[in-house]
């Protein structure tokens, strides 16, 4: 098996890469994917999002090591093991990130990845239904819609934000991220619109694209040049050869793991596992970042939440309506109202994200509160905590050792306490007067720093946004793993293009920036002139130096 380009991973970035590298018909592409088909209602039906993330069939099933600052809890770390990767099992929330996130990338060595550079790629990838004119794509493969805000609690949340003195925004992916407004979803015609739907399935209709099922064991490297990928298929080892390049797009956990299995990584660590060193890159597996969030839950005094729909009979009705008409509650992920806020005066752009939900329930669908309720998922966006991904052994079948090192700074705790108190302020606004019952979580007694810290330690969850473990930066920076054209430093014909290359985590959910990374990397790989930079100026709050709102 041989192709011009071999891509490891059929996920968000890998699917975009496969489509763009093959679209002119001049190059052949093989995509390697360990997971199976994305066919089935659990993936396609937006409201069923809690199922695929908890199914061994679709998820790698990784867990962190005991987290020392969170009571030694082992945190779930799902990643998609399926066509479409994590875009097939995620919450379908679509966020570009803030302009300043990408400017920070460029300033820290990822030249050519400033906001002006990446905005044209976001536009190329999307068809925005209802986004801000001039700032959004109108003919890309990825369809983006807004929730219908039919439940009155969504509007109550947005109104409460305005009443608390915060900004409102019609499109946080347009000129103005800061404020309260509708949330955007990768949902189209009532179905999850994953990277597989947008990119990979259309590309597979071409003769020059082939999907190969198998576990990537290592990159084959000869004289510091990548020539292919060793794959295990049906119990046998095979080599898939790349005439031009190998591109790894296997996730923030599996991309560094594959590099290390191939001899690229921290020399001392590789030697411990008896792996021959090809390139000593200490940055491989370092710089792991993620978003954490807490669920602030409030009882609702009116029976208008989704609590009444959690019984089997209602679920059957919702499922039937979705199956036959692609409509109703099943056609939404229920994340339809959002906010991006600044935590204090002197913070230039938002560092807090909200998802609002008209039911009190956990992300995994478990432990629903025994009452009508609503909740806000809230968390800080730019923690200074950093973790690592390491090899458990030289066996490709073993899960990597994941240590997030969450909440390792005093600042993390102060930021989270502020998020909780801010949420209480928002829920106390007039807009919620007709609906507000007692607080379920953390509970009205939890007011002191100590009580809030205990709640955070016991209840905070990952938002499942891992990134940063194959950091992009200057080629002469020892912490960099790839250069600004996504080339692995020290090895020829090998690139990494997925969320692992992010120098720093972006604001919000990472699916959008991961797809953008695949889009932009394809132009670098093909040696094309990058899209012309944008000259649009994003909105920055004129009061940022003196106020948080």
Residue ranges of domains in the chain: 1-96+192-286+468-526, 148-182+292-380+408-459
93 is in an annotated binding site: yes
519 and 500 in contact (C-beta within 8 Å)?
no
The answer to the question of whether 260 is labelled as a binding residue is no
Q: Which CATH class is domain 148-182+292-380+408-459?
A: alpha beta
Q: Is 13 annotated as a binding residue?
A: yes
- For the chain, percent of residues with pLDDT exceeding 90: 96
Q: Where does 1-96+192-286+468-526 sit in CATH, by number?
A: 3.50.50.60
Query: How far is the first Cα of the chain from the last one, in angstroms, to the nearest whole number?
Result: 58
Q: Check: CB of residue 184 under 8 Å from CB of residue 173.
A: yes
As a whole number of angstroms, the distance between CA 111 and CA 335 comes to 34
Report how far residue 399's alpha carbon sits from residue 392's, in angstroms, rounded to the nearest whole number.
7
22 annotated as ligand-binding: yes
In 301-435 the beta strands, taken as DSSP E runs, fall at 337-341, 352-357, 373-380, 388-390, 401-403
Alpha carbon distance 356, 202 (integer Å)? 34
Given this model, what pLDDT does residue 363 score?
Answer: 61
Tally of CB atoms within 10 A around 338: 29
Distance CA 220, CA 246 (A): 9
3-state SS, one letter per residue, for 147-200: CCCCCHHHHHHHHHHHHCCCCECCCCCCCCCCEEEECEECEECCEECCHHHHHH
The string of pLDDT tens digits covering residues 304-335 is 999 988 888 999 999 999 999 999 999 999 99
442 prior amide bond cis, ω within 30: yes
Report percent pLDDT > 70 for the chain: 99
> Does residue 365 surpass a pLDDT of 70?
no
Q: Is 181 annotated as a binding residue?
A: no
Residue 202 buriedness (CB in 10 A; 0-12 / 13-18 / 19+): middle
pLDDT-derived band at 362, boundaries 50, 70, 90: confident
DSSP sequence for 285-318? T-SBB--EEEEEEEEESSS-SGGGG-SHHHHHHH
Query: For residue range 76-130, what is the model confidence (pLDDT) as tens digits?
Result: 999 999 999 999 999 999 999 999 999 999 999 999 999 999 999 999 999 999 9
Q: Which of 165-179, 327-341, 354-368 has the lowest mean pLDDT?
A: 354-368
Going through 11-165 in order, the beta strands assigned E by DSSP cover 29-33, 126-128, 142-146
Catalytic amino acids? 465
């Amino acid at each position: 098996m041989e192709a011009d380009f071999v891509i490891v991973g059929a996920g968000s970035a890998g699917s975009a890469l496969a489509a763009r590298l093959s679209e002119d018909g001049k190059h052949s592409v093989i995509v390697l994917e360990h997971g199976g088909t994305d066919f089935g209602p659990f993936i396609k039906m937006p409201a069923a999002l809690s199922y695929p993330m908890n199914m061994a069939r679709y998820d790698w099933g990784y867990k962190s090591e005991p987290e020392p600052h969170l009571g030694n809890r082992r945190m779930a770390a799902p990643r998609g093991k399926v066509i479409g990767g994590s875009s097939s099992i995620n919450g379908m929330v679509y966020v570009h990130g803030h302009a300043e996130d990408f400017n920070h990338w460029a300033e820290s060595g990822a030249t050519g990845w400033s906001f002006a550079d990446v905005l044209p790629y976001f536009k190329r990838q999307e068809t925005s239904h209802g986004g801000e004119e001039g700032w959004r794509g109108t003919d890309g493969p990825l369809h983006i819609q807004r929730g219908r805000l039919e439940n009155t609690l969504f509007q109550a949340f947005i109104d409460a934000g305005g009443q608390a003195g915060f900004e409102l925004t019609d499109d946080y992916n347009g000129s103005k991220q800061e404020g309260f407004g509708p949330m955007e979803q990768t949902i189209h015609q009532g179905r999850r619109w994953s990277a597989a739907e947008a990119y990979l399935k259309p590309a597979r209709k071409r003769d020059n694209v082939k999907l190969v099922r198998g576990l990537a064991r290592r990159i084959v490297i000869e004289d510091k040049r990548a020539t292919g990928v060793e794959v295990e298929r049906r119990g046998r080892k095979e080599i898939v050869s790349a005439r031009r390049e190998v591109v790894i797009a296997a996730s923030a956990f599996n991309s560094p793991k594959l590099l290390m299995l191939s001899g690229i990584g921290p020399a001392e660590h590789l030697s411990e596992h008896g792996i021959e060193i090809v390139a000593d890159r200490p940055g491989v597996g370092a710089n792991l970042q993620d978003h954490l969030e807490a669920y602030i839950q409030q009882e609702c005094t009116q029976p208008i939440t989704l609590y009444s729909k959690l019984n089997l009979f209602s679920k059957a009705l919702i499922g039937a309506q979705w199956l036959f008409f692609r409509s109703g509650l099943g056609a939404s992920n229920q994340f339809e109202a959002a906010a991006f806020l600044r935590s204090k005066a002197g913070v230039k752009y938002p560092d807090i994200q909200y998802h609002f939900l008209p039911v009190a329930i956990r992300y995994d669908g478990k432990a629903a509160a025994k009452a009508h309720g609503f909740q806000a998922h809230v968390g800080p966006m730019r923690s200074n905590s950093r973790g690592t991904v390491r090899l458990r052994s030289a066996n490709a079948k073993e899960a990597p050792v994941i240590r997030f090192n969450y909440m390792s700074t005093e600042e993390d705790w102060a930021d989270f306490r502020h998020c909780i108190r801010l949420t209480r302020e928002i829920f106390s606004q007039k807009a919620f007067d007709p609906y507000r019952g007692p607080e379920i979580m953390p509970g009205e007694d939890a007011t002191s720093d100590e009580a809030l810290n205990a709640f955070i330690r016991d209840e905070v969850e990952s938002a499942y946004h891992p990134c940063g473990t194959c950091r992009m930066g200057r080629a002469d920076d020892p912490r960099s793993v790839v250069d600004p054209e996504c080339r692995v430093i020290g090895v020829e014909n090998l690139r990494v293009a997925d969320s692992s290359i992010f120098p720093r985590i972006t604001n919000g959910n990472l699916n959008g920036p991961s797809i953008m990374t695949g889009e932009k990397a394809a132009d670098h790989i093909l040696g094309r002139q990058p899209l012309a930079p944008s000259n649009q100026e994003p909105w920055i709050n004129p009061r940022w130096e003196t106020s948080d709102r």
